[in-house]
């Protein structure tokens, strides 16, 4: 099933990149890894269409309309990897609506398996470039954003692919509510410097950290990810940044 030509058309609608208007460099790596097993293929063809986010022709998406029940808040995770953080957050907060963005098919199917196993109904998946979704969201519609262990693109010629840029922060500031929280984690020291150089000068975000433990220790309500575990096993110390969206009247 790893060949694109063998994929059922219903699934292909959600897993192919239809972004001819996106002129910026691609920020992600490969879309597919090892071939899916039969059960995983079933999740892609049967469950994914039911939880997938479809961008309307109008280009305007009300994220709360993706859910049948009223919600207290809307949270967005960009690049959820294997989905372990997103699934745990959703289980702990059934009153919050979650939208997760991930282009890697094997990561998407891992999250789908957790949705089935735990009976999670407050997650929706956008299996495409997160910038397409962000561009469709209305002002002040998101209460919290997670960007956890994004690809650091360590080679200098690839730095243009790093997701943390002034343009990304500008757009996130637009879609986030006042006093909303942006959480960023990385285990790459060079990328950490890159991120801090941009977030600390952005007029719409405040980094309230006052002591090393504020960014060296993962908060209690921040579930771990497999990327954090891999970093620690390799002897790297992750950084956990919590940024607040400043009120617009300041």
Our answer to whether residue 178 is catalytic in this structure is: no
Q: Measure CA 60 to chain center.
A: 19
Non-local CB neighbours of 226 within 8 Å, separated by 6+ positions: 81, 82, 84
**Active-site option among 151, 170, 187, 204:** 151
Q: Cβ distance 143 to 178 under 8 Å?
A: no
Task: Residue 232: name the closest of 216, 219, 244 by CA.
Answer: 216
What is the maximum span of the chain, computed from C-alpha positions, in angstroms? Answer: 54
Q: Cβ distance 189 to 219 under 8 Å?
A: no
Q: What share of the chain is helix, strand, coil (3-state, %, to 5)?
A: 40, 20, 45
Q: Which residues are catalytic?
A: 151
């Amino acid at each position: 099933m790893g060949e694109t030509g063998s994929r059922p058309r219903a699934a292909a609608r959600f897993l192919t990149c239809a972004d001819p208007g996106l002129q910026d460099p691609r920020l992600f790596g490969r879309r597919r890894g090892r071939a899916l097993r039969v059960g995983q293929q079933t999740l892609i063809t049967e469950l994914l269409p039911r939880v997938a986010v479809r961008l309307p022709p109008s280009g305007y998406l009300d994220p709360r309309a993706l859910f049948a029940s009223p919600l207290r808040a809307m949270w967005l995770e960009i690049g959820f990897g294997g989905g372990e953080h997103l699934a745990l957050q959703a289980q702990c907060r059934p009153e919050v609506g979650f939208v997760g963005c991930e282009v890697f098919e094997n990561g998407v199917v891992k999250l789908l398996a957790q949705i089935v196993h735990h009976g999670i109904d407050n997650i929706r998946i956008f299996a495409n470039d997160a910038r397409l979704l962000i561009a469709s969201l209305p002002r002040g519609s998101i209460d919290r954003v997670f960007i956890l262990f994004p690809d650091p693109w360590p080679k200098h010629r690839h730095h243009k692919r790093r997701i943390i840029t002034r343009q990304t922060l500008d757009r996130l500031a637009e879609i986030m509510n006042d006093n909303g929280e942006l959480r960023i984690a990385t285990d790459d020291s060079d990328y950490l410097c890159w991120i801090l150089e941009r977030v600390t000068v952005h007029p719409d975000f405040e980094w309230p950290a006052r002591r090393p433990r504020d960014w060296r220790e993962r908060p209690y309500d921040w579930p771990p990810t497999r990327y954090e575990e891999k970093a620690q096993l390799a002897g790297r110390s992750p950084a956990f940044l919590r940024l607040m969206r400043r009120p617009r009247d300041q």
